[in-house]
Structure 1
Amino acid sequence: MRAVTPGLFISLEGIDGSGKSTQAKGLAAWLRRQGRDPVLTREPGGAPGAEEIRRLLVEGDPDRWSPETEILLFTAARRDHLERTIRPALAAGRDVITDRFADSTRVYQGATRGDLRGLVDDIHARVIGIEPDLTLILDIDPEIALARGLARRSGEDRFEDFGLAFQKKLHEGFRALARQAPRRCVLIDANRATEAIAADIIACVAKRLG
């Protein structure tokens, strides 16, 4: 019997309102047209227990959690996501596209809410232990992204409520991450039409698929 080839693990990252969810859906649709069977998921969330933790993280007062507590909550949700969704899909040969993964914790909690990057990386290594094969970082003007995020009125606005200065710090944090991990991370100009962004994303994934 031929062994199952593991799927491709892809994450989309960027500040709130950068268009990750739209592009993740478009990428999943493109992969299906190529005859593949992707799993489309998100963080925090992507598994029943992780979705329960999500509500604790994205709703409510901006100051309800300390950065250290957020790191632990995000990691707990990520572990559930990894065990119940990501690993089984990859082992079955399916691609996984996730709207956010560990890089968001590295930037949101590790770099912008305290000097905690070392703590984030240590916990990640001990509890999660994997990185995506490819990370697409949607790079957008923070003012535009913040306006989009607040206009959604989704009720999940806790991080948008930190304001523009916070979004600018996040923006720089993701750019720094792209410089730190150039083999895995690709910076995508998201200050353009949806179709142009999608074309760049598809080109990156097609190249990685060989």
Structure 2
Amino acid sequence: MYLFSIEGGDGSGKGLAAEIVSEILQSEFCFTSVETTAEPRRDHALGRLAIDSVRKQTLTPEEEAGLFAADRLDHSHGWILPRLHEGKAVVSGRNIHSSLVYQGIVGGIGLEKAAQMNSAALIPDLCIWVDCDPEIALERIRSGTLRGFQTRKSTSRRLIFKSGLGRDTDNSFPGNWKYPFHSTWGR
């Protein structure tokens, strides 16, 4: 079936967007079974390690990227791929595009390196970007309506992305941008 990714900055509304996309896929299209998930996984040891790396800020950007890539690889092949093989569609809040932005650009390891670190993970068939005003996102984070784990430092890092690069995503990730690797999920 198909893997859909919902991307956007922290506080942008990815969780709600994933629910809406799942409902639309089932009610308006031919998808009879749609599963939702999110990355990093809060219910898995690898996901929690990745989350803690952002919270504690003690790892290098490469080490942090490695944890997110490990969680994504395990998630891709251990959870998502079996559902795709069962004929289900999967909607994921975050996927490789988050690593390209947060570790590749914001973290400074570069797009090529971030992509290479995630090269064995599944590539979404469609990525939907949820755009949100940075001030609205910050208010959502501050109000505690998120399941957030951000510290001031990590929240600031996210807002730097959203207020700078985030407003120019059309130029940063044009539709014709080529991945430096190939998908492991055959079409």
TM-score range, shorter chain: 0.7 to 0.9
* Residue 141 of structure 1: aligned partner: 133
Number of aligned residue pairs: give it.
173
Match of 2:142 among 134, 150, 157: 150
Structure 1: runs of 5+ lacking an equivalent: 1-6, 185-210
* Structure 2, unaligned runs of 5 or more: 178-187
> Percent same amino acid at aligned positions?
28
Shift of 1:58: 2.4
* C-alpha separation in 1, matches of 2:13 and 2:25: 18
Correspondence for 2:48:
55
Matched, 1:44 2:40: yes
Quote the offset at 1:162 in angstroms.
2.6
Kindly indicate whether the alpha-carbon contact (under 8 Å) linking 1:146 and 1:160 is maintained by their aligned counterparts in 2. no
Cα gap change, 1:174/1:10 in structure 2, threshold over 3 Å: closer, same or farther? Answer: farther
Q: Give TM-score, length-normalised by structure 2.
A: 0.79
User: Is 2:38 aligned against 1:33?
Assistant: no
Distance 1:118 1:75 in 2: 14
Aligned residues of 1:45 and 1:54 also touching (Cα < 8 A): yes
User: Residue 5 of structure 2 contacts residue 95 of structure 2 at CA under 8 Å; is this kept in 1?
Assistant: yes
Distance, in Å, in 2 between the alignment partners of 1:159 and 1:10 is 29
Paired residue type of 1:147: E
Q: How does 1:75-154 map to 2 (within 5 A)?
A: 75-125=69-119, 127-128=120-121, 130-152=122-144
Aligned-CA RMSD value: 2.6
* 1:138 aligned partner, one-letter code: V
Deviations 1:45-78 (A, max 9, x none): 28x6xx2222223247441322111111011101
Aligned to 1:68: 62
Q: Secondary structure at 1:109's aligned position in 2? A: helix
Distance in 2 separating the partners of 1:164 and 1:153: 18
